[in-house]
Structures are given as structure tokens and as C-alpha cells.
Amino acid sequence: MQTNYICPFCNGHLNVNDNIVLIVRNSAKQQGLVFLHTEIGNYSSQMNSSLDIKKGETVDFFCPYCHTNLEYHKDESSLVKIQHEDVQGKKSQVVFSKIYGEERTYHIHEDKVLSYGEHAKHFQDPEWFLK
């Protein structure tokens, strides 16, 4: 059994093999599919070649099933939230940046927050997520 990524709204499974599949929309309202690597802290991705997203641009992420915006709403609108389910079935949250090129991810599990990416330390204290 592999780990799974799940929409926090409809419980749809978002990963296929080593990719999390989401809909992304840029500021020009162009949208398409994006494939994010399932390994937390691995920032490799692929998207439709027709999408024009510039480094530093804030984009919106949507569930491919229910089309709900996956924006994280805890006083911080530049983050996206999805659920993570490990091989034992334990659920946690993965929160990552909506800013293209910004490497900032937080894995929130019970009373622990793990930070990933070179930009994570420039933003929230990880404990902020537990408040």
C-alpha cells in the first residue's frame, strides 16, 4: 500500500503513481493539470505546456473531482492544504505554497510540524499551524 493524498473536501484520492494531480489556474484565468511529486520536499512538477506561469506568480489549486479551491484559510491565503494518508492509514495535513517557484511545504501530524524547502524558514514559525 502506498501513501495517499486526499481532497479535504470530497475525500477524492489525488495521487496517481508518484504524482499528485491537481487543477491549477493562473492570474490570466488559464487552467490545466499539474503533476506534483508525492515525496514531501521534492519540488519537481509537470504541467500543461500551454499554461504560462511566471516564477513568483500566485496560482490557485483545485481538486480535480469536486473543483473546490484548496486554499488554506488560516489567516494565510498563499498556501494550499491537502490531506496525507500514510501506509498505516493515519491522516495528516500537507500545506504548501501557491507561489510558483517557492519551495515551502509543511507536514502537520498531530502535535508536530515538519518544514521542507528552502523558503520555509523565511515564513511562519511551524508552531503557528498548531495554534
Number of domains in the chain: 1
Higher-confidence residue of 73 and 53: namely 53
112: Cα separation from own chain's centroid: 18
Phi, psi (rounded to 5 degrees) for 127: -65, -20
Q: Which has the closest alpha carbon to 41: 124, 113, 118?
A: 118
- The model scores a pTM over 0.85: yes
pLDDT band, very low/low/confident/very high, at 50 (cuts 50, 70, 90):
confident
Q: Which domain holds residue 109?
A: 4-130
φ, ψ dihedrals at 110, nearest 5°: 55, -110
Model confidence over 80-125: pLDDT tens digits? 999 999 999 999 999 999 999 999 999 999 889 999 999 887 776 6
> What pLDDT shows up at residue 111?
85
What is the distance between the alpha carbons of residues 61 and 79, in angstroms, rounded to a whole number?
Answer: 10
Q: Please give the mean pLDDT across all residues of the chain.
A: 90
